[in-house]
Structure formats: structure tokens, C-alpha cells
Amino acid sequence: MIWFVSLLAMMGVFVYCYASWPQAVSLSEQEGGFTLDKGLLFYSCLGLAGVFNAMVFTITRLDFSQQFISWFYGMVIVFHTFFISMFIFITIFNSLEKYNYSQVGPILYGSMVLLLVWIATWPVYLLVRKFLTQPKVG
């Protein structure tokens, strides 16, 4: 349920931000910096989000533990959070308004760190479980 709500939120923000992007979306503030076509960026982001969300259906059909499935749902929710902050950052960066877009940087980097921490929790969980559930000798 929460996964679906986060998916709807991500897609809503994505479509809203996409509508305000210029035809050549700038991803660098340097002169002659890195730019992408609006359509290419749209379909790249849509494809990446589609792959991650299709994996949700694949993971639930395979024989994984309930703990792993819950962790995976959480990872996809955090992925949606990262994508939302990335879309907002790109939109602010490409707006014609005078805005100190560097203030959005901590949100973007914070969501990236949250994504990396979430990915790292599963191996840590497995290690802790392995050492805490050792059979007793005797």
C-alpha cells in the first residue's frame, strides 16, 4: 500500500516537473555543460522507474523470505523518495528564476545517502541474524 502511494507521488511529481523543463535540460552549471533532450530524460527516468517497480512484482512471485520482500519494498519506497528529490532539483536548476538551488542539494544528497544506507541494511541484517542465531552446543 505504501509502495503504491509512493509510486503515485513520484509519478505526480515527475509529470509536474517534466512540464516545466526546457527542451534542452541542463544538468551542469558550467558553460557548455551537460544537457539532455527533454524527451530522452523523460523516457530514461520512466524506464528506470519502470524496471524498479516491475521488480516489485517479480520479487513477490519468487520464493523469497517475507523479511527480504519487506526490505525490498522499503528500498523501492526510498528509491521513489530519491527520484522525487532529483526531479525537484532538476526543475529548480533549470528554472529561469533567481533561486539558490544549492539549498536543495542537502535534500538530494540526503535521499541518496538514505538509499545507500537502506541498500546496506540487508547484508548487515543477514550478518547479525547469522551470529545471533547460532546453534547452542550442549
Q: Which of 137, 36, 18 minimizes the C-alpha distance to 84?
A: 18
The CB-based long-range contact list for 69-74 (8 Å cut-off, 24+ gap) reads 71/118, 71/121, 71/122, 71/125, 73/2, 73/3, 74/118
Band of residue 137 on the pLDDT scale cut at 50, 70, 90: low
Report the alpha-carbon distance of residue 26 to residue 75 in Å, rounded: 28
Q: Is residue 30 part of a domain?
A: no
Per-residue CA distances from 84 to 12, 37, 112, 135 (Å):
9, 19, 11, 45
The domain in which residue 107 lies consists of 38-129
Q: Is residue 80 part of a domain?
A: yes
Q: Is residue 9 part of a domain?
A: no
Q: Is residue 14 part of a domain?
A: no
pLDDT reading at 105 higher than 80: no
Q: Is residue 6 part of a domain?
A: no
Q: Is residue 33 part of a domain?
A: no
Report the alpha-carbon distance of residue 36 to residue 28 in Å, rounded: 10
pLDDT reading at 51 higher than 60: yes
Q: Is residue 4 part of a domain?
A: no
- Whether the model clears a pTM of 0.85, i.e. scores above it, the answer is no
Q: Is residue 32 part of a domain?
A: no
pLDDT reading at 20 higher than 70: yes
Band of residue 32 on the pLDDT scale cut at 50, 70, 90: low
Q: How many domains does the chain have?
A: 1
